Chain A
Amino acid sequence: MIGDLLGIVGEGILIYFILMQLYLAYLAARSAAVLRRSHHLGRFGRITEMLSSRTSPPVSIVIPAYNEVAGIVDSVRSMSLVRYPRLELVIVNDGSTDGTLETLVAALSLERVTIPYRGDIPTAEIRGIYRGRGATDLTVIDKANGGRGDALNAGLNAARYPYALCTDADVILDPECLMRAMQRVVEDRERTVAVGGNVRPLNGCRLELGHLVDAEVPKGIIERMQVLEYLRTFVASRPAWSDMNAHPLVSGAFGVWKRSAALAVGGFTRGHMGEDMDLTMRLHRYHADRGIPYRIVYEPSAVIWTEVPSTRRVLRRQRIRWHRGLMSAVRDFMPMTFNPRYGTLGLVTWPAMVLFEYLAPMIEAAGWLIIPLALALGTLNSSSLLWLAAIAFGVGLANSLISLMLDESYGYFNSPADASRLLTMALIENLGLRQMTVVWRIRALFGGRTVRAWGDMERRGVAGLATGP
């Protein structure tokens, strides 16, 4: 009886596994076509045209900052070097206690001003507004602590331009990333409500004066594993989601939002642990419910570099936080799952997010429990187990290898040393490292909100993070 039951559950898990791999293979194939086309188009003058055109809409870069004293000035300097015809920087100091505001005021010669601020979205109290005297159009909003979403809302309120690039204080923007993202807006200004970018780990890269000089694979195993994870997500999945207009997650590290659309849905949700996914999904729901034509796209050539956790402890906290954010989103948007009203998003990508992201750790854990039980009861022999383990290992490896192949069009990690590091990592990450993240995600299902709304990174600052010249 128990043996039969285990057999049925085992077959269910097998079918789940096959479905997941078919879905990933489909995404990779579709992403390959999108990347190929993007690569061709990117080579022939689109960027120059954006830079010189009068049709490029102005953009506000919104940077929330909480206790970022280590790197905030370098970040601002780096961001002011972004190539774009017309932009402003809006930094929101979210009640930092480490002197972030004072550092900004002193380093950038800011002066306190009284200028129009409209509270379209309610936020924690605004304590002051500062303006830069330099060439960069810079505004700093000082507000009481309210979390990342609240700070972003204050930035959206203060933004003067119709599009807002919401990013983080610890990222390095590729100088052309904004133009590359905004070309997707110019393609269709009416319908485009958000554009996501390609986020890559910054750890280990070589920087000079706030610019990325050379992309290198980091030395730490935890960081290297994340390089592969980011490639699988940003190179082998998101281009396909975007192509289907069913992109469920515009990354919080790089998202260009149409300001009017973001305001229409009430901006970011205060205190949400996955505020980026939440806003993306609310935009989908808002437009689909009202029958308003729209699109949310991803531009793979808009590259930004972000600090990723370098220790197991920080990574664990981050993954628990991410999975809790996903849990909230799954609960909030459950009615959209398998709902044809939301098109491909409702029928394919959101259900896949629920099945293959949200439920995956539970199903994988169920497999870990069933296998010893089945071995003990004799319904699974050790030979079959070894073969199944080999299949799981091989498929995991194939996913990483396909992502590495797709990433070739960007020209990063080309040295033989980097290539061999990534290949080695692809081989070993399925021998314990990936399973470690599964345990953390299961951990996220239990316990209260023990993580903070402002992320879990221990900031070293952009200058301290990368290997210097």
Chain B
Amino acid sequence: MTEVAQLATLIIFAANALLVAGLIALKTTHRIRGRQQAKRKRRYMGLVSRHIAYPNCTDPITPAMATDPAFLDAVIDVRNAVVGPEVETLRGIVDRHGVMAHQIRRLRSSFPLGRRLRAAVALAELGDETAAGVLIHHLSDREPEIRIQAAKGLGRMGWTPAIDVIVGRFATETPWVRARFADTLLGFGSAATWPLLAYITVNHRFEREGPVAAIRALAALGDDQATQTLIEVLHEATDPEVKIATVETLGALGSPRAVPVLRNQIRSPDWRIRAKTVTALGEIGDVGSLDLLARALTDSDWWVRRNAAAALAKVGGGVDRLYEALIGKDRFAADAAAESLADAGELAAARRRIGEGRPRERDMTLVGHMSGDRP
């Protein structure tokens, strides 16, 4: 028993000694390495800046520097600071010294994740058309963050052949990557609209997450060309998530052409669709929907009522309907109307008028409602 305990103690204390030594070494290394890297980065930033400012600069950039992570960080920082022809000059420096070639090699899967990620970020930030092929290849990398960086790089350089590949991967990607891909597509502008619409049209009946992400990407793109196809999708779609995303996007696109199809959705049995529909009608600002929105203030679901109140504040003449709701019997609708009026600046204006001694009748109603004893 004692011998075993002695051996165990010896092993544990030896391990502890190693841990202490390791900890001290780790802390010391981190401190020294961090300082040295920051110092080298500052030096490289000066060097690269001189090469940009004075094309005949003779200060050497050695091959060892070009493979130093601090040099890469310096180049990325300089890249974010320069504009116009200086960008091309910087790109020339990077090409001449083989920085990108080195990073492309490091992107290979045999390297550890940290190095691969650094290489992917470098290519995304600095890569030009010559790196596009590599980035397209890495859109199917096994590492999600590298796929994201590849898409970012392609979006930054506006490499339109990549759009179909990125959209095509929507169906199989994780939600995080899909969301990042959707963000990336914004970089392509309206060139991404039709590939996205084609993907949605073909796939919305068979899957959910891919089309939903694509529809939301269209909202961010804000291209009105998408309206007609989305109206058709809203007619045909059976999946509530697809419908919700479509209603939201039609609201964001703001086209009056979507109003008839949206008005139909207000009868949906799904409260989420009704709630999004009233918001969309508010976004479009359709005066013809005033009655519909006022009726939605008495919907069975409180989110629909709250959204309807917010929507009414955005539609011409809607404020009057909100004041009417304020004196109505439905307490929740009255509170929602009051909140919406306050958000629209009516409460502040009412208080000002009261303070100036020229209040309107409804000013007193709103202020009186807001200072009610019971919420």
B338 touches A115 (CB 8 A): yes
A131 touches B342 (CB 8 A): yes
Stretch from B10-18, B48-56, B226-234, B316-324 that touches the partner: B10-18
B339 touches A115 (CB 8 A): yes
Convert A26-56 into 0s and 1s, putting 1 for each residue whose CB lies closer than 8 angstroms to a CB of B. Answer: 0000000000010011011110010011110
A384 touches B302 (CB 8 A): no
A129 touches B375 (CB 8 A): yes
B30 within 8 A of A: yes
A384 touches B372 (CB 8 A): no
B154 within 8 A of A: no
A117 touches B12 (CB 8 A): no
B176 touches A112 (CB 8 A): no
Convert A380-413 into 0s and 1s, putting 1 for each residue whose CB lies closer than 8 angstroms to a CB of B. Answer: 0101100110110011011001101100100100
A214 within 8 A of B: no
The residue that B27 contacts in the complex, of A114, A190, A414, with Cβ under 8 A, is A414
B182 touches A55 (CB 8 A): yes
Chain A hits for B176, CB < 8 A: 183, 186-188
The residue that A45 contacts in the complex, of B6, B121, B174, with Cβ under 8 A, is B121
A401 touches B369 (CB 8 A): no
Instruction: Tell me the residues in window 1-39 of chain B with beta carbons closer than 8 Å to chain A beta carbons.
Output: 1-2, 5-6, 8-9, 12-13, 15-16, 19-20, 22-24, 26-27, 30-31
- CA A41 – CA B371 in complex, angstroms? 50
Query: Within the complex, what minimum Cβ distance (angstroms) separates A142 from chain B?
Result: 9
Query: Within the complex, what minimum Cβ distance (angstroms) separates A345 from chain B?
Result: 23
A330 within 8 A of B: no
Convert B331-375 into 0s and 1s, putting 1 for each residue whose CB lies closer than 8 angstroms to a CB of A. Answer: 010011011001000010000000000000000000001111011
- CA A111 – CA B366 in complex, angstroms? 14
Given contacts A53-B179, A402-B19, contact A395 B371 (CB under 8 A): no
Interface of chain A: mostly helix, strand, loop or mixed = helix
A271 within 8 A of B: no
B63 within 8 A of A: no
Chain B hits for A118, CB < 8 A: 302, 332
A419 within 8 A of B: yes
- Total residues of chain A contacting the partner, CB 8 A: 51
A423 within 8 A of B: yes
A49 touches B335 (CB 8 A): no
Most chain-A Cβ atoms within 10 A of its Cβ — which of B5, B219, B332? B5
The residue that B372 contacts in the complex, of A52, A114, A116, A189, with Cβ under 8 A, is A114
Convert B166-200 into 0s and 1s, putting 1 for each residue whose CB lies closer than 8 angstroms to a CB of A. Answer: 00000000111001101100000000000000000
A128 within 8 A of B: yes
The residue that A55 contacts in the complex, of B23, B113, B120, B179, with Cβ under 8 A, is B179
B30 touches A411 (CB 8 A): yes
B138 within 8 A of A: no
Query: Within the complex, what minimum Cβ distance (angstroms) separates A29 from chain B?
Result: 14
Closest partner residue, chain A, to B351 (CB atom) = A111
B204 within 8 A of A: no
Chain B hits for A126, CB < 8 A: 375
Chain B hits for A45, CB < 8 A: 121, 149, 152
The residue that B5 contacts in the complex, of A52, A128, A391, with Cβ under 8 A, is A391
A414 touches B31 (CB 8 A): yes
Instruction: Tell me the residues in window 84-135 of chain B with beta carbons closer than 8 Å to chain A beta carbons.
Output: 113-114, 117-118, 120-121
Query: Within the complex, what minimum Cβ distance (angstroms) separates A4 from chain B?
Result: 15
Chain B hits for A55, CB < 8 A: 179, 182-183, 216
Query: Within the complex, what minimum Cβ distance (angstroms) separates B106 from chain A?
Result: 14
Q: A37-B113, A188-B174, A188-B175 are in contact. List 12 more A-B contacts (CB 8 A).
A: A44-B149, A52-B183, A54-B220, A55-B216, A114-B369, A114-B370, A126-B375, A384-B2, A387-B6, A387-B9, A401-B20, A408-B27
* Chain A interface (Cβ < 8 Å from any Cβ of B): 37, 40-41, 43-46, 49, 52-55, 111-118, 126, 128-129, 131, 183, 186-190, 381, 383-384, 387-388, 390-391, 394-395, 397-398, 401-402, 404-405, 408, 411, 414, 416, 419, 423
A-B CB contact pairs (8 Å), 16 listed: A40-B117, A43-B114, A44-B121, A44-B145, A46-B145, A53-B183, A54-B216, A55-B179, A111-B370, A113-B347, A387-B5, A391-B9, A394-B16, A398-B19, A401-B19, A408-B23
